[in-house]
Structure 1
Amino acid sequence: MSTRRFAGAAMAAAAMMAFAGAAEAQGAARAEQRDRPAGNVPPADQPLIRRIPEPSIAVEGGFGMLGYLGGTAGVGPTWNVRVTGSMSRRVAVEGNYIGSVNQRAALGRSLVMTSLDAGLRYNVLRADEAVVQPFVVAGLGYTGWAGEGGDAFALSVPLTVGVERLVTRNIKLGARLNFRPAFFDDLTVRGAASQVGGDSWALLAHGGGAF
């Protein structure tokens, strides 16, 4: 084989190897781009909540409205601060503070509620299984009321249903409906014909940080 033919064959082989290497690199780049999340929006064939590591702790605040069963007081504003610690993708524990101010129509005065409780949360669906994550919570805690006819101490058993989702990796939004039966409570105003208690419900929107 002449030197010219040998050089031509070597150049052709080198060109083919370079082309194959470029094609392989381009394919790897496309695969990497396909697998890499595009910001916080997953591909169309995946749920909006992606398979990302579950935050272990969330700190949230919420606002809404609270009402009493049995006509104890009118509907009023309520607020909530909550810390949630995840034990698994299904189970978490919550610590809650909730307060409210409600007007007692018969007296024209305010009834101020303060409640502290701890609860066990169960996620009905995992975060990667739906657009929003539904959950239920059951707890036990303390509730007290300040104002005329108030009660400084009662036992509460809050029951909650709600939904939430991660907007980004660290921002969480949601809503919850809470029913709060109270025991050993008496919010009867002196001279009233019938006894009333502190059983209440609350509807809250909440948001916060997940870490």
Structure 2
Amino acid sequence: MDYSETNRLSRLTAILIHFQTKKIITAFELSEKFQVSKRTIYRDIKSLEQAGVPIITEEGKGYTLMDGYKIPPIMFTENQANALILAEQLVLKNKDSSFIKNYSEAIEKIKAVLKERDKDKANLLSERTRYEQNINRERNSSNLSDLQFALTNYLTVKIDYTNESNKTSTRIIEPFALLSTENWLLVAKCRLRKEFRYFRLDRINTMEMMSENFLPHQMTLQDFFDKYH
């Protein structure tokens, strides 16, 4: 996710929260607040409507939310909340302090409307994700969302994995953390090797979520770095 995508995600979230605090909002007001064109705001409003937010246009006045509408906990699925947490890691690498502050505040408000169980998972994922910006390589993976889910729900995963020697093997793993450097890396306990290993996501050929839960590993990501580096 690049800066422009993350910036838009932050703005959409902030607009939605802004609707909770004012009866009527104008496109001009939003364009001034977020320093974007009114045309951009029109697109943002349409995106929110397509996402199911009941926005009413009052001619000559502006936009308002349908009476009684509040952001419900079910508005964000667990996977959607996970995606927002991952985006937060990217935002924290940005050098614009005001942008970081706005997005961090938005994330805190999102966490506030999550169910307690999902809130704990969101916090766990925040603690177990590290994102380093790298514009030199393209990261290819279609498993990130499922691995986030496995990590926060302590589900074992079966993968067919090709290592650097081009040898493929089947592994049962216990996801622990997600890191992004030159590639997306999964830190996981490998039951075959009986130790923690790094797995490049673009080397995972197939992946199957298992029904078996594993016991949470009683250490932080920093504890892992201290022990294995």
Q: TM-score when scaled to structure 2?
A: 0.23
Kindly indicate which of the two structures has a greater share of residues assigned to strand.
1
Could you say which structure has the higher helix fraction? 2
